[in-house]
Amino acid sequence: MAKNKRLATAYSGIDRDKAYGLTEAVSLVKSNAKAKFDETIEVAINLNVDPRHADQMVRGVCNLPNGTGRSVRVAVFAKGAKAEEAKKAGADVVGADDLAEEVQNGRMDFDKVIATPDMMPVVGRLGKVLGPRGLMPNPKVGTVTMDVTKAVADSKGGAVEFRVEKAGIIHAGVGKASFTEKALEENLRAFLDAIVKAKPSGAKGTYLKKIALSSTMGPGVKIDTAEASAPSSAAA
């Protein structure tokens, strides 16, 4: 009852039929994030694509200028000098066949997986375990690379991977309620810009159909898709 009352109060200050500008949307969502924990600010984007077709797949990575606000544990599959490089870069777990065995046995205390190209035959055998959790390394998003230092730094910084779901929806966290409104807006603009730049060749008509911003426990706020699609939505 308390939760329903809180949401009802929050919605009372939001016009559900209005599409807000980014600045106002961020302000509304942040002001209504009143849970006892630091809520994640999340964006959901409905795209006019059918990801069943290869030329309509939307996938990539965005480096949020102000970070994600969450602690990310990174695992790196590498050998020799690259393994040492990963450790120096701050990777939480580093290994090769030994790490693969741990993953097979169900030990996965990490949020992101990076691999050097030579380790992909080993990592590939873990597809059924890593894939469903969205942890499979992929060169398209920079997690299969020889530059493990940069990959680890990006993963622990503000790198957010995105991939459109079957229904044409992408959702991601763009910061925490404790962030300033300016930091949240910069992150949101950077993420939307990345989605616009990732528009596939097969996308026809209006690309951004609907956008909503919310906090973990708060109400959703519609965002003006025209503003989000404009060049001014580029990261500051």
Average pLDDT over residues 86-95: 97
Residue carrying structure tokens 């609907």: 210
Residue carrying structure tokens 């050998």: 79
Residue type, 132: P
DSSP string computed for 107-161: ----SEEEE-GGGHHHHHTTHHHHGGGT----GGGT-B-S-HHHHHHHHHTTEEE
Cα separation, 102 vs 160, in Å, equals 26
Sign, CA torsion 188/17/197/133: positive
Cα separation, 176 vs 40, in Å, equals 4
**More confident site: 1 or 145:** 145
Q: How many CB atoms are closer than 10 A to CB 38?
A: 14
Worst-scoring range by mean pLDDT, 10-14, 64-68, 106-110, 154-158?
10-14
176-199 tens-digit pLDDT? 999 999 999 999 999 999 999 999
What share of the chain in percent tops pLDDT 90?
A: 80
Per the DSSP assignment, residues forming a β-bridge with 113 are 75
Average pLDDT over residues 195-220: 94
59-89 tens-digit pLDDT? 999 999 999 998 899 999 999 999 999 999 9
Average pLDDT over residues 198-217: 94
